[in-house]
Amino acid sequence: MRWLVRTLAFPTKEAVEVLRQPRLLLVLVIGPFLILLVFGAGLRDTDPALSTLFVAPDDPDLAEQARQFADAQEGRLVVDDVVEDEDAALQRLRDGEVQLVVAFPPESEETVRGDEQAVLRLFHAQVDPVEAQAIELYMEAAVSELNQQVVANVVAEGQTEGADVEARVQAARAQLDTTRAAVREGDDERASVELSQLRADTAALALAAGPLAAVAGHDAAPGRAGRLNERVDGISDPEGFEAEADRLDTDLAAIESSLEEFRSLSPEVLVAPFRGETVQVAGESLELSDFYAPAVVVVLLQHLLVTLVGLSVVRETELGTSELYRVAPLRVGELVVGKYLAFGAIGALVTAALVAALVFGLGVPMRGDWLQLVTVLVAVLLASAGLGFCVAGVSRTDSQAVQYTMLLLLATIFLSGFVLSLDRFIPQFGWIGWLLPTTYGVEMIRQVMLRGVAPSPILLGILVGYAVLLGALGWLSARWRLLRG
Amino acid sequence: MQTHAPSSSERRPPRPAPAILARGVRQRLGGTDVVNGLDIEVSPGTIFGFIGPSGSGKTTTIRMLTGIQQPTEGRVEVLGKPPAAFSTKDRARIGYLPQLSVLFPELSLWQNLSFVASIYGMGWPRRRRLRRVLELVELWDDRRKRLRDASGGMQRRLALAAALVHDPEVMFLDEPTAGVDPMLRRKFWERLEALRDEGRTLFVTTQYVGEAAFCDVVGVISDGWLVALDTPDGLRRRAFGGQLLDIRTVGPLDEATMAQLFRLEPVLRCDRVGADRQQLRVVVERAAEAIPRIADWFDDRGVPLESIREDQPPFDDVFVALVQGSRS
């Protein structure tokens, strides 16, 4: 049982050393936690509003367009002013007084009538490529919206005109009935007069109803409108009068129906019949902070374990305690297992506190199984402790150990999928992230906590393999230190 | 007046197997021979003092004897085994006090000692043993004090407690009194003597040459070479060619009398001390036998003596004489 006594020598000693250095815990856990919390909770879900200058020539129509554009982009744009001088506006942009300048094209109507697109220019001074790309995407969406608005206005005017046309159709159908009555009574003279009136009505209708019916989306309507004059000519023949009159009435009824429908639809639907809608099937949608929080636990756990184990081993070498270990009947395995137990217990306590704070304090969702979460975290903990031994193995002084630990933390933040998805990396570099144990931990903790599914067995297997490998390396490193100093 | 422990050969019969043995040991570090041809043999139950200036090879020797370093050449054995072949049981029979404090500043004295007891496999309960050891080094009342808040003397006493907490047979103490005030040093040596009297073997290095007097056998090392190995008395003898007498006459002593004294049989050397021509330092084979004969000789010649006594020069002088002698 002496081996057990020797092994258990470390948990108490390490725990007392850590607890007697509250600043160390503060720096290692609370500090990064608060920073990441501010990052997660403080980040906007939407793009920030941009202070914008509009440049529009002194034209009431353009000014109205600019006003509509600004209204449509409310929340994304904050209108600083509407000016006429584009150069002055650009100077204010360069001076940093505004963030965006939207220049409306002069004589846009004439340009469009000349069969050319009028160019709406959007100037910005962003050097951040991500922000610049966001502005370009925004520009595309905004111009598309503006185009839709213009077309919607045209359609609305068409709908107003459609009311007159519809009245004409109704008048033509009444005239057809009058003509039909005159023909049936055998009053040829009156029938001829009524037929002339009907011809005049349908000729006007053929011109007006065709384009409107086409806009309304009835493919057959323009054909019907074009055939009206032929139908009227057909009913001039007394033998086929009734049949042709019925056809004419059917066409007029169809045109009337199309126009009625056209007028009943909103212009916005007519110009943009489709809109996109995304549905998230992995449970309720998440806040940005909810998404990052579980990964924070993994990142902090690794940072804590690597730092504590690394510094502990290196300091014992610097202090000369490892010399005492070499003279004492202490085996390498007892030392390594003792440290695993010591820092494993500390790491477990800190992790439990962090998870509790996130789930019960900040309301981060925990959709999966707690046991699976514990499994993932234990695997991360063991791999991180092994990594700590490896850091100690390559560090001669504690300042070197701190530097390596910070390097590892940077790699973890940028390459483990913590901030940016690994899919965003090009294949030549994306694999580097998978060299870090945290990458597996981040992915699996998101699976368990956010998706509510079991951790991937492959990822878990690799992480456990990593933990074993790093533990073996840690054992070799500790053995080398004990035997060679 | 100096006190020193009797040599082990005077107190008990020699044992056949030495507790510590080094034969032709050489250690080469960074292209330099740090220890050269070291031959020592330490009997069980003795205090072996290893004395030398800083950088002379004392710590390197201890590191070889404890198995921290392997000698480049030669044979080392402790308790009959080369340290490299020690089992955990063998290691539990050895205590080690490193030159610098290697314990943990954030832990209390008690917690540090308890930790060391644990890595030596001392099971529970061990409170009584820890208390006894802390009382032995007079740290029981300060046991709750953090090591970082303890004085240098307390830290050395704790290190001593840590070296003997598991009741080892052989203890290697690397400069246990370094940085400790003279009063405390004296107490330290009293405790080491008590440990020796309990049957432990102590291998103690020190820069304080005067501490040689507390040892049973002393090895003097300089520039990696063992320049002397003897009892404290033997070292004095070796340093000055015999024992020293301090003689003071009532009146000035003339040259003729000096020449006659030099020819006297027990006298090996005779030098004037001081300018008043009344004081002499005389080297003799054995002071106890020589003092009455020399006193009679002066009496026969009608030269009144103010005093005649054995002179025990400080070990600093002994050490300087030995090192200078070896270098020359």
A468 has pLDDT over 90: yes
Cα–chain center distance at A87:
35
A158-269 has the same fold as A50-125 = no
- For residues B321 and B107, the model is more confident at B107
Q: pLDDT class for B162, splitting at 50, 70, 90? A: very high
CB atoms B88 and A17 under 8 Å: no
CB atoms B119 and A331 under 8 Å: no
pLDDT value of residue B114: 95
CB atoms B123 and A13 under 8 Å: no
CB atoms A17 and B104 under 8 Å: yes
d(CA B127, CA A293): 46
CB atoms B123 and A8 under 8 Å: no
Smallest Cα distance from B124 to chain A, Å: 8
User: Architecture of domain A158-269 in CATH?
Assistant: Up-down Bundle (1.20)
Q: How deeply is A85 buried, as exposed, middle or buried, from its count of CB atoms within 10 A (0-12, 13-18, 19+)? A: exposed
The domain segmentation of chain A, as residue ranges, is 2-43+287-484, 50-125, 158-269
pTM: 0.74
Q: Please name the member of A9, A20, A331 whose beta carbon is closest to the beta carbon of B106.
A: A20
B5 has pLDDT over 50: no
Q: Is A223 helix (H, G, I), strand (E, B) or coil?
A: helix
Smallest Cα distance from B54 to chain A, Å: 19
pLDDT value of residue A366: 92
Q: Tell the residue number behind the tokens 């070499």, with chain if given.
A: A326
- For residues A268 and A299, the model is more confident at A299
Candidates B104, B130, B203, partner chain A, best to mutate (most A CBs within 10 A): B104
Q: Please name the member of B69, B100, B120 whose beta carbon is closest to the beta carbon of A320.
A: B100
Percentage, residues of chain A above pLDDT 70: 94
Candidates B68, B114, B116, B167, partner chain A, best to mutate (most A CBs within 10 A): B68
Q: Is A466 helix (H, G, I), strand (E, B) or coil?
A: helix
Tell me which chain B residues have a C-beta less than 8 angstroms from the C-beta of A482: none
Smallest Cα distance from A397 to chain B, Å: 16
Chain B contact present for A331, CB below 8 A: yes
Instruction: Please state the ipTM of this predicted complex.
Output: 0.80
- For residues A219 and A112, the model is more confident at A112
Percentage, residues of chain A above pLDDT 90: 29
pLDDT value of residue B301: 87
Q: Comparing C-alpha atoms, which of B258, B189, B203 is closest to residue B78?
A: B203
CB atoms A12 and B115 under 8 Å: yes
**Per residue in A180-234, pLDDT tens?**
888 888 888 888 888 888 888 887 777 766 666 555 555 555 566 667 777 777 7
pLDDT value of residue B145: 95
pLDDT value of residue A433: 87
Instruction: Specify the range with the lowest mean pLDDT, choosing from A56-70, A104-118, B145-159.
Output: A56-70
Q: Is A118 helix (H, G, I), strand (E, B) or coil?
A: coil
**Per residue in A323-378, pLDDT tens?**
899 999 999 999 999 999 999 999 999 899 989 988 998 888 899 999 999 999 99
Instruction: Specify the range with the lowest mean pLDDT, choosing from A50-64, A223-237, A275-289, B295-309.
Output: A223-237
Smallest Cα distance from B52 to chain A, Å: 22
pLDDT value of residue A179: 85
CB atoms A16 and B111 under 8 Å: yes
Q: What average pLDDT is seen over chain A?
A: 84
d(CA A336, CA A9): 11
**Per residue in A39-96, pLDDT tens?**
777 777 677 788 888 888 777 777 777 777 777 777 778 888 888 888 999 999 999 8
pLDDT value of residue B13: 56
CB atoms B91 and A329 under 8 Å: yes
Tell me which chain A residues have a C-beta less than 8 angstroms from the C-beta of B76: none
pLDDT value of residue B2: 32
CB atoms A321 and B102 under 8 Å: yes
d(CA A230, CA A203): 10
Mean pLDDT of A279-298: 80
Smallest Cα distance from B185 to chain A, Å: 23
Helix axes B127-136, B109-119, angle to 10 degrees: 120
Report chain B residues touching chain A, CB-CB < 8 A. 63, 66-69, 87-92, 94, 96, 98, 100-104, 106-107, 111, 114-116, 118-124, 146, 162, 172
Instruction: Specify the range with the lowest mean pLDDT, choosing from A181-195, B61-75, B120-134.
Output: A181-195
Q: Please name the member of A17, A325, A485 whose beta carbon is closest to the beta carbon of B119.
A: A325
Mean pLDDT of B140-169: 92
d(CA B51, CA B175): 9
Chain B contact present for A328, CB below 8 A: yes
CB atoms A13 and B111 under 8 Å: yes
- Convert chain B into a string of H (helix), E (strand) and C (coil): CCCCCCCHHHHCCCCCCCCEEEEEEEEEECCEEEEEEEEEEECCCCEEEEECCCCCCHHHHHHHHCCCCCCCEEEEEECCECHHHCCHHHHCCEEEECCCCCCCCCCEHHHHHHHHHHHCCCCCCCHHHHHHHHHHCCCHHHCCCEHHHCCHHHHHHHHHHHHHCCCCCEEEEECCCCCCCHHHHHHHHHHHHHHHHCCCEEEEEECCHHHHHHCCEEEEEECCEEEEEECHHHHHHHHHCCEEEEEEECCCCCHHHHHHHHCCCCEEEEEEECCCCCEEEEEECCHHHHHHHHHHHHHHCCCCEEEEEEECCCHHHHHHHHHHHHHC
CATH code of the domain occupying A50-125: 3.40.1710.10
Chain A residue with CA closest to B116: the answer is A9
Tell me which chain A residues have a C-beta less than 8 angstroms from the C-beta of B115: 9, 12-13
**Per residue in A384-435, pLDDT tens?**
999 999 999 999 898 999 999 999 999 998 888 888 888 888 888 888 889 8
d(CA A206, CA A161): 15
Chain B contact present for A22, CB below 8 A: no
CB atoms B111 and A327 under 8 Å: no
pLDDT value of residue B15: 55
Cα–chain center distance at A361:
27
pLDDT value of residue B4: 38
pLDDT value of residue B11: 54
pLDDT value of residue A28: 76
CB atoms A13 and B107 under 8 Å: yes
